[in-house]
């Protein structure tokens, strides 16, 4: 997002680091004219209201998926502007992408190692491409194929939850989601002025929010990929 001036220097680093990198302007949710649905379109129901920042984040990823389809690319990397890469790991991650990514791929390269493999596809150095049992959260970095982008666009005409929680729902969008771990990826959110989508919760509501979050995550975990 061009208004996020603290992130410009990091964007320049990514433009120099990632192959064929281009900047796509993020969508500002408050200006998008999109009213998200309540989180009851899909099971499990999403128990929290969606903020303007989350709408903007989702629409920004949809814009990237649409760009992949429109350009006819087999696949492309999608990086958020607070991404940082460890050069040593990146060479191995890129080798796995080059060898295994296709038009049908969606491969997460997450900043947090919170996924357990139920199937291992390949390894390169310390990095492993695997199918996680439960898909993790956050969308700082991923590989998206053209066919995968088409599936996700078709499944997201109406938004009823944040993009990362929707991507967990493989039983809705029908897209296998793979992960590369470890990968050397970090998020620089705190260093770059904080999150653009985080919402504050009053102290009186924090306990119930945590209970609802635990229930929701348990319901997602009950529907593993394998």
Q: Tell me, what's the pLDDT at 114?
A: 95
pLDDT at 202: 62
pLDDT of residue 4: 72
What is the reported pLDDT for 19?
Answer: 92
Please report the pLDDT score of residue 5 as a whole number: 82
pLDDT recorded at residue 158: 94
Residues of the chain with pLDDT below 50 are none
CA 147 from chain centre, in angstroms, equals: 17
Q: 158-214, pLDDT tens digit by residue? A: 999 999 999 999 999 999 999 999 999 999 977 776 655 555 556 667 899 999 999
Domain residues of the chain, as ranges?
Answer: 5-221
Residue 44: asked if its preceding bond is cis (omega within 30°), the reply is yes
- What fold does the segment set 5-221 form as a domain? Spore Coat Polysaccharide Biosynthesis Protein SpsA; Chain A (3.90.550)
The backbone torsions φ and ψ at residue 78, rounded to the nearest 5 degrees and listed phi first, read -120, 115
- Asked if 110 and 88 count as a contact pair (C-beta separation under 8 A), the reply is no
Which residues does 136 contact at the CB level (< 8 Å), separation at least 6? Answer: 108, 110, 112, 114, 115, 168, 179
């Amino acid at each position: 997002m061009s208004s996020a001036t603290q992130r410009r220097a990091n964007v320049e680093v990514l433009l120099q680091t990632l192959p064929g990198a281009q900047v796509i302007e993020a969508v500002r949710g408050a200006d998008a004219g999109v009213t998200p649905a309540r989180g009851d379109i899909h099971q499990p129901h999403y128990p929290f209201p969606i903020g303007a920042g989350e709408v903007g984040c989702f629409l920004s990823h949809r814009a990237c998926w649409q760009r992949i389809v429109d350009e006819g690319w087999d696949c492309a990397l999608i990086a958020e502007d607070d991404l940082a890469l460890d050069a040593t790991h990146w060479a191995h991650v890129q080798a796995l992408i080059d060898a295994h990514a296709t038009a049908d791929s969606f491969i997460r390269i997450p900043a947090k190692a919170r996924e357990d493999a139920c199937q291992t596809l390949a390894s390169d150095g310390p990095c492993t491409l695997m199918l996680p049992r439960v898909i993790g959260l956050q969308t700082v970095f991923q590989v998206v194929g053209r066919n995968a982008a088409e599936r996700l666009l078709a499944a997201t005409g109406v938004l009823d939850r944040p993009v990362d929680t929707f991507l967990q729902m493989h039983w809705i969008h029908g897209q296998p989601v793979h992960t590369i771990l470890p990968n050397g990826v970090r998020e620089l959110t705190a260093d770059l002025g904080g999150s653009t989508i985080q919402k504050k919760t009053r102290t009186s509501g924090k306990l119930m929010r945590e209970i609802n979050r635990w229930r929701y995550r348990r319901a997602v975990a009950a529907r593993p990929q394998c």
